[in-house]
Structures are given as structure tokens and as C-alpha cells.
Amino acid sequence: MRTILWAAALLAAGVIVACNGTAATLPQPAATQATDAVTPTAATKVTPTAAAKAVRALTQAAKAATATSPAPTAVATAEATQAATKASTAKAAGAIPTKEITVQPTAAAPVECVLTPADQLGPYYIEGSPFRSRIAPEGSKGTPLVITGTVYLTGCNGGLGGAVLDVWQADAAGEYDLTDGFNYRGRVSADESGRFSFETVVPAPYNPRPAHIHVRVSHPDAETLVTQLYFEFGGAANPRLVLKLSDVEGKKAGTFDFVLKPAT
């Protein structure tokens, strides 16, 4: 098709190519000869005027071919522009990729699985507190606090279902209840997936201790962990035991996961 177009263009310009590869011109009308002021010979070169006519003929042929082809869509144009930009960038860097590389999204990072540090038991632990989801008595003074989390074994391959959390703390005035009423004390049982939740109030600090909540976590398949949870607004014996809080529906809320050693 391209050869036909060139031939048509050269014929329109009055030029032919001889078998020996030399260019020759066809005899032109007298008016054209007078205008171009060229005397045709057997082996004359293509004149600028003839070349211009050939270019115009090729342009018209290209326009006609383009008119019969479907116009590129906006998506195709955008893709072409993007591809050209990528190729230009790659060329500037010294390498042009032969194909586009698709990067697969990485998997979500696993839960941080580090043994929870132990902390002192303290002098105010009392055994036998009742199972309940609310540690502070109903109507207690202080800022309401909800603590949730999961109990794991080393490796964190699923929660440790049935783990028991024994919780005790000071009240909003920094005092422990030492009566048999078990105020600000209680045991919480984790569900089959190791998840737990309980409600209390934010304890006050007392000299010389910062605000904290005592937790004793036990399970038949794990070593019992005795530790404490601290808060961002006070000091902490171990930064890894700090419970970060957020505001949720007028309450403070925090999440903390416990990781225990397997029983030996």
C-alpha cells in the first residue's frame, strides 16, 4: 500500500523512476513547464516543486487513511502518553524495560509477638475475686475505662482460649479496697479465641507509684504471668507495658495483648 501511495505521489508530480534506479520526469504541459522553468531531460533530478507536490500528495493520502481509521479513545490516548513517559524516564536512566513489571501488594504485617514483660505482684493481691466484666463498682467515681485484647502463647498462632485474667487496682483516689467486697477486683475469662474485655475506671497514682492496673494471666497450657499496665500520662516500669488510650463514646478505651510462655 505504501509503494502504491509513493507511486501515485510521484506520478502526480510528473516523476517516474527508471529501471536503472534513476529519476526521470514525464513531459509536462507547456503551462506547467513555463511555470516551473525546468527543461526535462532523460535523467534529471526531482525539482523542489515536484517534491512539494509529492509531499502534498502523501499528506492527502495519509489524511484519507486516517479518516477511515477509528479515532483513538481518551483512555487509549492516556495509556499511550503514560507509556511514552515511562519509556522516556527509563531511557534517561540508561535502560528501557521490555515489558511493564507488576508489583504485587505485600501481605499484612503479623501481630507483634513478643513475650509480655513481668512486673511485681504488689502487696494488695487477694485471691478468689469473682468473675465479672466490670471491675469497678457501679457508680464509681473516675473516668470510665474499657480494656480489650487477646491472650496468646509464644508464636501467636491463634488466641489462648479460656485464659483467665485476675485484675485488681486502686480507685480514682489512689486507694485499694481491702474488704471482702472485692471492689476494684475481678476475674475475666477470655473467649475461645483468647479475646477479653472488661470495664473499670482509670486509677489514680499514689506515692510513690504511677497509675497502674495489676493483671495476673493464667492458663493450663502456659506459665502464669504477673504484670501491670501503665498509662501514657504517668511513669512506667517498662515502656512495653504502657496502655495507650483513646476516647470512645465518652469513655477511655485501650487495647493490650498478652503473650505467655508455654507451660513446661
pLDDT at 82: 58
Instruction: Give the number of other CB atoms < 10 A from CB of residue 171.
Output: 20
CA–CA distances in Å: residue 65 to residues 51, 69, 70:
21, 7, 10
Cell numbers given for 1: 500500500
Quick one: pLDDT band at residue 5, thresholds 50, 70, 90? very low
- Go through 229-259 and write b for each residue having 16 or more CB atoms within 10 A of its CB, e for each that does not: bbbeeeebbeeebbbebeeeeeebbbebbbb
Higher pLDDT, 160 or 104: 160
**Average pLDDT for 249-254:** 95
pLDDT at 26: 43
Q: Are 177 and 150 in contact (CB under 8 A)?
A: no
Phi first, then psi, for residue 217 (nearest 5°) are: -110, 130
Q: Are 169 and 213 in contact (CB under 8 A)?
A: yes
The yes-or-no verdict on residue 96 having pLDDT over 80 is no
Cell numbers given for 140: 464509681
| pTM (whole model) above 0.95 | no
For the chain, list the domains and their CATH numbers.
Answer: 2-88 (no CATH), 144-260 (2.60.130.10)
Quick one: pLDDT band at residue 234, thresholds 50, 70, 90? confident
Cell numbers given for 186: 475481678
pLDDT at 56: 65
Q: Element (H or E) spanning 230, and its range? A: strand 222-231
Phi first, then psi, for residue 11 (nearest 5°) are: -65, -40
Which strands form 185-189's sheet, in the order they lie side by side?
185-189, 164-169, 212-219, 222-231, 242-243
Instruction: Give the number of other CB atoms < 10 A from CB of residue 201.
Output: 21
Quick one: pLDDT band at residue 17, thresholds 50, 70, 90? very low
Instruction: Give the number of other CB atoms < 10 A from CB of residue 147.
Output: 23
- Read off the pLDDT of residues 63-85 as tens digits, 9 standing for 90 and up: 555 444 444 444 444 554 555 55
Q: Are 44 and 18 in contact (CB under 8 A)?
A: no
Segment among 206-215, 233-242, 244-253 with least mean pLDDT: 233-242
- Read off the pLDDT of residues 20-39 as tens digits, 9 standing for 90 and up: 444 444 444 444 343 343 34
Higher pLDDT, 152 or 15: 152
**Average pLDDT for 14-23:** 42
pLDDT at 9: 43
Q: Are 145 and 198 in contact (CB under 8 A)?
A: no
Decide the pairing of beta strands 245-248 and 212-219.
Answer: unpaired
